[in-house]
């Protein structure tokens, strides 16, 4: 349907503009009018798609978080052995964070800020389940340390956020070899040392 498609396009344009502007200027310095202008719609049009500014940001967060996890697990298969499975997920996450850094930056800002509703935050966490399942399996098989999911995430995944931000700021530029090192550091920090 042409009309429906146009609606979806507009909504997406708004979401994209929100990400772009919040990334560059921060939530506080991103007026609705600027979002509207970047999305090539009238300010009033935003309110056809979102209840208010908070809702726009919440929905944007959920959408981005969801595309993050979709990306992360796109090539993962539950039947893979633990280490291989982890490697695949980790590298997809790394790719997302370092290549789709616009999205990743936005998520980092949301996750470290009272910018987002608690409800939306909870909603966003849900989709990480396959990784938690993998870790559970790894622990049962004695391959992964008996640490809480938070601890595992902190050491295996979260460093990527830091590297992503450093790369965005131009402080570093990770090449394939360094990425491999990073992966190994991640795996080392959670695997059971034989």
32 near a copy of itself, judged by CB under 8 A: no
Q: Please name every residue paired with 191 in a beta bridge, in sequence order, or none if there are none.
A: 144
Rule CB under 8 A: is residue 171 a binding residue for a copy of itself? yes
**Contact call for residue 22 and DNA (CB under 7 A):** no
What does the per-residue mask of binding to a copy of itself show for 72-111, with x meaning CB under 8 A?
------------------------------------xx-x
Distance CA 26, CA 23 (A): 6
Question: For the chain, first and last CA: distance in Å?
Answer: 59
The DSSP call for residue 191 is B
DSSP string, 106-133: HHHHHHTSTTS-HHHHHHHHGGGHHHHH
* Residue from 5, 28, 79, 175 in contact with a copy of itself (CB under 8 A): 28
Rounded CA separation 102/84 (Å): 28
Report the chain's C-alpha Rg in angstroms: 19
In angstroms, the CA 87 to CA 89 distance is 6
The dihedral built from the CA positions of residue 135, 138, 139 and 143, taken in this order, carries a sign that is: negative
Structure tokens at 160: 């990527």
Of a copy of itself, DNA, none, which one sits near residue 23, judging by CB under 5 to 8 A according to partner kind? a copy of itself
166 binds DNA (CB under 7 A): no
For position 48 contacting DNA by CB under 7 A, the verdict is yes
Is residue 153 near a copy of itself by the rule CB under 8 A? yes
**Least Cβ distance, residue 38 to a copy of itself (angstroms):** 16
The answer to whether 12 contacts DNA (rule: CB under 7 A) is: no
Q: How far is the CB of 56 from DNA (least distance, A)?
A: 7
| 12 versus 42: smaller Cβ distance to a copy of itself | 42
> For binding to DNA (CB under 7 A), which residues are involved?
3, 6-7, 10, 29-33, 41-48, 52-54
> For binding to a copy of itself (CB under 8 A), which residues are involved?
23-29, 108-109, 111-115, 145, 147-148, 150-151, 153-155, 158-163, 165-166, 171-172, 178, 181-182, 185-186, 188-190, 193
């Amino acid at each position: 349907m042409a009309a429906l498609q146009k609606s979806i396009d507009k909504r997406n344009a708004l979401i994209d503009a929100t990400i772009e502007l919040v990334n560059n200027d921060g939530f506080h310095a991103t007026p609705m009018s600027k979002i509207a202008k970047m999305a090539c719609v009238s300010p009033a049009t935003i309110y056809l798609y979102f209840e208010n500014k908070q809702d726009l940001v919440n929905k944007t967060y959920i959408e981005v978080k969801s595309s993050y996890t979709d990306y992360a697990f796109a090539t993962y298969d539950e039947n893979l052995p633990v280490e291989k499975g982890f490697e695949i997920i980790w590298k997809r996450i790394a790719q997302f964070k370092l290549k789709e850094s616009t999205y990743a930056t936005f998520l980092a800002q949301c996750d470290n800020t009272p910018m987002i509703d608690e409800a939306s935050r909870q909603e966003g966490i849900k989709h990480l389940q396959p990784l938690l399942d993998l870790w559970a399996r790894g622990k049962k098989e004695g391959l992964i340390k008996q640490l809480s999911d938070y601890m595992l995430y902190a050491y295996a995944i979260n460093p990527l956020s830091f590297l992503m931000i450093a790369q965005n700021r131009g402080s570093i530029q990770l090449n394939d070899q360094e990425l491999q090192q990073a992966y190994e550091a991640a795996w080392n920090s959670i695997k059971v040392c034989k």
